[in-house]
Structure 1
Amino acid sequence: MNGVTENHASSSSSSSSSSSRSRTNIVYIPEGGYEGQPQPAFDYHSLDGQDPSICIDNGAQSWRAGFSSMSTAYIDRPNVIARYKERKIQKNLLLFGRDTEVDANSRSNIRSMFDGDLLIHSDLLECALDYTFCKLGIDSPKIEQPIVMTERLANPLFSRAMTSELLFELYNAPSVTYGIDSLFAYSRQEHQDGLAISLGHQASTVIPIMNGRGIMSRAKRIPWGGAQASELMLKLAQLKYPSFPLKVTPSQATFMLRETCYFSTDYDGELRSLASPQKLSEITKVVQFPYTPPEVNEKTEAELAAASERRKEQGKRLQEMQAKQRAQKLAAKVAELEEYKLLQSERSQFKKADFLSRLREMTPFETEAELDSYVKKTEIEVRKKQRKDLGMEDEPEEEPVFPLVNRPDAELTEEEIKEKRRQRLMKAGWDARVRARAEKQKERERLGEEKRLEEEERTTNPSGWSSRLKEEQESVIARIQERKKRKAQLGDRKSAAAQNRMKNIATLAAEEKTSNKKRKKGEDDDGFGMDDSDWHVYREIGGDEESEAEEDDQTALMSIESRLLQYDPTFDEEQTLIGRAEAKNKLINAFVHGGLPLNQKYDFEDMQLNHQLHLNVERIRVPETWFQPSMWGIDSAGLGEVAGWVLNGFDEEERKRIMQCIFITGGSANIPNLIPRMRNTLTPILPFRAPLKIVSSLDGGDPRLEAWKGMAEWSSTAEAKEARVTRAEYEEYGGEWLKEHKWGNVPP
């Protein structure tokens, strides 16, 4: 037999805060999937005087093996092999089970002897058998005990022939017996009639049993198992967290499936209930992946207090500096103002020409009017800042005086005419501001009147007033959403909105080109532009109208919602536009980041939170595929529907006997709520009030081990001894030869 090298390493615990570990909704991914301590080899010589069989449950997911005299399987490992040459030590390594995940090199060489549910790789089967016989302590040149192995329902002949050839030719086994795993598991039941349902790794099977024998002609197979469910869990996690910092492995996805999922007894009803963010957060399971926390130098409370005090002092100094700078600027402005006032006071001491010369030499102004205007404006500005520093209100604006506006030009000098033009412009601006204030006053009066009328309507007809405002709110929200939808469509050049916009631009360009040509004699003008509505097309293309309308709608919506919140007791924050958006955001946050404590916010820089997956809807959606494979594109009936179809294929008396023992086994049978879910599915499709008994494990143990325990108990019976294919029969009939027994496949 080939040599076997085992590689073991201790797994360190995941780094997490103590507060996180106290939470009950968190599941920790094992850091390193390999097994910790090496298992001591079995003392093969202790079997002297005994005649046990070697029982091997060769599953697509797990390999379980041991002597039939053992209470449970001695070897229980994932059925994967890594065989490669380690360059550091220049040795060929063979790793089996979880040992294959010891490092990146071994993980990259992981292989399975199965392709789907089909056993095809004889070299990998040989590696698994080598490991098994070594762990069982068999050191003889040949195997002396009979071998009992499981196989798939309707196992192909070449797979059985390949296995028999290995056992007889390489290991010199005395005999081999094959049987179906789910039937071996059912063999432990007392009932002679029943239904064996296996939730396997690559497929699920339903086999009826009558008079203590499996009826293969009525057996059914569903192409959905734990492998497909794990792959679906992995895809959903990748879709939900596209930027997750780690690569989630298939074994980790299987771990998440087994540790977090459960069958929903009312899938549609529970799915509808998850529209509530609170309910979504309640069922969330947090899957914590291992990570290496960054080194952080934690400061003492005294250091933190000192740092906080320093920040306060820095903020105070900054405020003082800003106040000092403002005071300096104001002082400079006052000094400049005093200098200009002094220059104004010297005006009478100089001739006009000399004063203008002195003005242009000492200031940036060209005329006396510019100086006077600047001095007046600066005085107002200085007084305003001084009053602001003292906390006083602004002075009312004085009505300006324009003495030159009404004087004729004949009475004015050239300089006064220039000043008159400036005063005329200033007067026009002042008049415009006065008109604007008057219009605002009228608008305030109009709004006040509308408010009074609305107040009167609200008092006399509150229900009608509330209904009208709610209709206006819905109308405004519809316009806002339609506008957002249009903006999104304009971003897609293939959308209808973007193409219509391009058509408008092309049409306008063609019209512009035509209009630039010389109009023929007698040709009438089309009159475009005479009406203001003609220019809406340009505003539509440029987006000006959209932005203005959006501002108006936002203002109107705020007014409507504020009035409803104030006077309508049936209207709350959740019915506002912001409330609706927040409710949607709460649901999204609960879906992506649910399961966090109420007082903890998601910190995007927290390493621990960044290495977490939050599973909620996935917990019921993935297991539901066994009952509704069509949800994920599998053209097959569900497990409950197939089981009901098989049961209804028997007559009434036979169906009653079978319904007394519906036995569920397989690795995925450990997922919670499977039996209630199966009962709820079968009850409507079976006869009314028909007695129904569904069981999983005989002694309340692990359903995964039921097949091995069943074959270990059955191997010592007389039927098992008669069903053995001996070496002589193999040599005479070939590896495809099979003896029929009640828990095996029907021979061809």
Structure 2
Amino acid sequence: MTEAFVTPNYSRQLMSELLFEGYGVPAVSYGVDSIFSMYRNDIGDTALIVNMGYHTIHIIPVIRGKVIEEHARRINLGGSEIICYMHKLLQLKYPVHVNAITMSRIEEILQEHSTIALDYQEEIRKWANPDYYEANVKRIQLPFVQPASSSGLTAEQQKERKKEMARRLLEINARKREERLAEDEEQLNQLLALQDLIEEGDTEEFNEAIKSFEIKNYGDLQRQISNLNMRIEKNKQRIATAANAEEPPEPRPTGRWQAPSDPEAFQIWLNDTRAKYREVLVRREARRARRAAMVKRRTAAAAERMRAISRLAAAGDDFGYRDSDWDVYKSISREADSDSEADGERLVELEEALREHEPAQPSHHQHQLHLAIEPYRAPELIFQPSMMGNLEAGLAECMEYVFKHFSPEDQLLLANNVFLTGGCSQFPGLKERLEKELLEMRPFQSTHKVVMAQNPSLDAWYGARDFAGSNEFDNWCITKEDYYEMGGEYLKEHHASNRYYKSPAPIIDNTLAPAGDANVIKEEIVVDC
């Protein structure tokens, strides 16, 4: 049975209790998974084991077959933290697809697309370039259901269809206006009939009739008649205006960014417009960066400006008479670095042209994840846990710390046999990155070597299988009798096991017990730091 490095006695006790009393196994032997993997790969008896698991990373020095436990280190970070970090990154980047970005999909992305960068900062600078981004971005298609009804119409047909829909809408509105006009005229005729009653002097019939119209008195009747006349007149004017209105001609695109009609020429024009748009953006960002550098004191731009000012002071009173003086003025003027108005207008024109003529992306493009720096950023946690708020040191720093506890001779032995095992050691680029880190931390012209396990995920199991098939396996097994006699935490040590430290006996404390009562037992808790 494999177990983690320096497993607590309590955890082993629970496992032994489950095996012997739950499953009734006759015997069991415990060993450390990473040490089993080391012996499985037959790399010698001296190595610096780097076991990269799902929850932790262990750095275990083994010298001449002996595990140096007191100098081993553990980093509380593993595959689960990398998956969670990548999950949060993509959910923040694509809040619309939160439900589609599942943990299983993130795990698949990490396994298939993630890489450890040789130089993380340099990798970030590469991805800041738009051309590099377009050439190297990875697009992951999320589950997408195509709408059942697809028009399949050309641009001209869609335009004609929109015109037809607009014409129908106008007809519907005109019909509604005519119906509303007829209703208002009918109501006006009824109110005029009531007015005739009051003019004829038939007051009683008038008072009875106004109750059905919710009219209080003759003045209220006059107001309603006036309002209806105004409403009828407005409706008639609207109907006449709509009938006489002609459909306005379509506005033709004007300006120098008019797209050609030929498809091939249009594509060339579109690519050229995009390139010009990016060029203007780059110029604007360069001006802003230069202006920001001018503000800082110890930058090259600020130093150059100060040199230009000193030359200007030494030029004398005739500064400005020469054409070259204008170049000096432009180099020191802060206003020269402001955004050009011409570039601003050009940028607006290019944006409008692209917005009008750039073809709309297919609907499935809206259900894609674009992986740029994220496949490099997530596994970088192995070397920089602070990126996710973890205050522990990274892998390279811990390895350097472990080296410092040994003599130069032992350091050389360990550095020449750095053994990588565990599931997270399968990230592409990890071996090269560790070799680079070792080159930086080790003395000048010293040698080092990084060895990968043949099967990082299963070599621990294969090593335990080989150990179980050896002739001496029975000598290292804990039998059921040993379990009942020594307790569940008992362990028989061997070359690939943890060391067994018996848990301290409970301490009897009589100071807290009342007189005449039984002794109070207080357990001593030992924390291994």
TM-score interval w.r.t. the shorter chain?
0.5 to 0.7
Please give the secondary structure, in 2, of the residue aligned with 1:739: coil
Which of 393, 399, 406 is the matching residue for 1:650? 406
In 1, the alpha carbon distance for the partners of 2:469 and 2:345 equals 74
Shift of 1:643: 1.4
Query: Any conservation in 2 of the 1:264–1:624 contact (CA below 8 Å)?
Result: yes
Name 2:475's counterpart in structure 1.
Answer: 722
Superposed structure 1 runs of 4+ greater than 4 Å apart: 303-306, 308-315, 465-477, 576-583, 599-602
Name 2:487's counterpart in structure 1.
Answer: 734
In 1, the alpha carbon distance for the partners of 2:425 and 2:402 equals 20
Which of 300, 311, 326 is the matching residue for 1:464? 326
Shift of 1:652: 2.1
Name 1:526's counterpart in structure 2.
Answer: none
1:253/1:726 Cα in 2 relative to 1: closer, same or farther (>3 Å)? Answer: same
For the pair 1:183 / 2:35, whether they are aligned, the reply is yes
Name 1:744's counterpart in structure 2.
Answer: 497
For the pair 1:684 / 2:440, whether they are aligned, the reply is yes
Shift of 1:209: 1.0
Name 1:660's counterpart in structure 2.
Answer: 416
1:290/1:305 Cα in 2 relative to 1: closer, same or farther (>3 Å)? Answer: closer
Name 2:427's counterpart in structure 1.
Answer: 671
In 1, the alpha carbon distance for the partners of 2:359 and 2:452 equals 42
Please give the secondary structure, in 2, of the residue aligned with 1:690: coil
Shift of 1:463: 7.6
Shift of 1:298: 5.9
Pairing 1:59-78 to 2, within 5 Å after superposition: none
Shift of 1:687: 2.0
1:182-228 CA deviation, whole Å, 9 max, x = no partner? Answer: 11111122311001101111111100111223222221100111111
1:469/1:676 Cα in 2 relative to 1: closer, same or farther (>3 Å)? Answer: closer
Query: Any conservation in 2 of the 1:183–1:214 contact (CA below 8 Å)?
Result: no
Give the TM-score normalised by structure 1. 0.42
Q: Name structure 1 gaps, 5 residues minimum.
A: 1-148, 319-457, 478-556, 562-572, 587-598
For the pair 1:243 / 2:105, whether they are aligned, the reply is no
Query: Any conservation in 2 of the 1:738–1:747 contact (CA below 8 Å)?
Result: yes
Which of 68, 75, 90 is the matching residue for 1:222? 75
Q: Which amino acid aligns with 1:684?
A: E
Name 2:149's counterpart in structure 1.
Answer: 296
1:248/1:670 Cα in 2 relative to 1: closer, same or farther (>3 Å)? Answer: same
Q: Name structure 2 gaps, 5 residues minimum.
A: 169-319, 502-529
Please give the secondary structure, in 1, of the residue aligned with 2:457: helix
1:245/1:734 Cα in 2 relative to 1: closer, same or farther (>3 Å)? Answer: closer
1:471/1:705 Cα in 2 relative to 1: closer, same or farther (>3 Å)? Answer: same
1:169/1:313 Cα in 2 relative to 1: closer, same or farther (>3 Å)? Answer: closer
Pairing 1:488-503 to 2, within 5 Å after superposition: none
Shift of 1:627: 0.8
Q: Percent identity at matched positions? A: 32
Name 2:374's counterpart in structure 1.
Answer: 618
Name 2:87's counterpart in structure 1.
Answer: 234
Q: Which amino acid aligns with 1:217?
A: E
Which of 374, 384, 388 is the matching residue for 1:632? 388
Shift of 1:581: 13
1:204/1:277 Cα in 2 relative to 1: closer, same or farther (>3 Å)? Answer: same
1:529-584 CA deviation, whole Å, 9 max, x = no partner? Answer: xxxxxxxxxxxxxxxxxxxxxxxxxxxx53xx4xxxxxxxxxxx6xx68769999x
Please give the secondary structure, in 2, of the residue aligned with 1:695: strand
Name 2:11's counterpart in structure 1.
Answer: 159
Shift of 1:682: 1.5
Name 1:130's counterpart in structure 2.
Answer: none
Pairing 1:207-218 to 2, within 5 Å after superposition: 207-218=60-71
For the pair 1:693 / 2:479, whether they are aligned, the reply is no
Name 1:519's counterpart in structure 2.
Answer: none
Query: Any conservation in 2 of the 1:258–1:668 contact (CA below 8 Å)?
Result: no
Number of equivalent positions: 344
Name 1:204's counterpart in structure 2.
Answer: 57
In 1, the alpha carbon distance for the partners of 2:478 and 2:350 equals 70
Query: Any conservation in 1 of the 2:100–2:142 contact (CA below 8 Å)?
Result: no
Shift of 1:304: 4.8
- CA RMSD of superposed structures (Å): 3.6
Query: Any conservation in 2 of the 1:262–1:619 contact (CA below 8 Å)?
Result: yes
In 1, the alpha carbon distance for the partners of 2:331 and 2:47 equals 66
In 2, the alpha carbon distance for the partners of 1:313 and 1:645 equals 75
For the pair 1:710 / 2:463, whether they are aligned, the reply is yes
Query: Any conservation in 1 of the 2:420–2:450 contact (CA below 8 Å)?
Result: yes
Query: Any conservation in 2 of the 1:201–1:227 contact (CA below 8 Å)?
Result: yes
Q: Which has the higher contact order (CA 8 A, sep 6+)?
A: 2
Query: Any conservation in 2 of the 1:203–1:224 contact (CA below 8 Å)?
Result: yes
Shift of 1:312: 11
In 2, the alpha carbon distance for the partners of 1:720 and 1:626 equals 36
Pairing 1:9-48 to 2, within 5 Å after superposition: none
Name 1:106's counterpart in structure 2.
Answer: none
Pairing 1:217-366 to 2, within 5 Å after superposition: 217-244=70-97, 246-297=99-150, 299=152, 304=154, 307=157
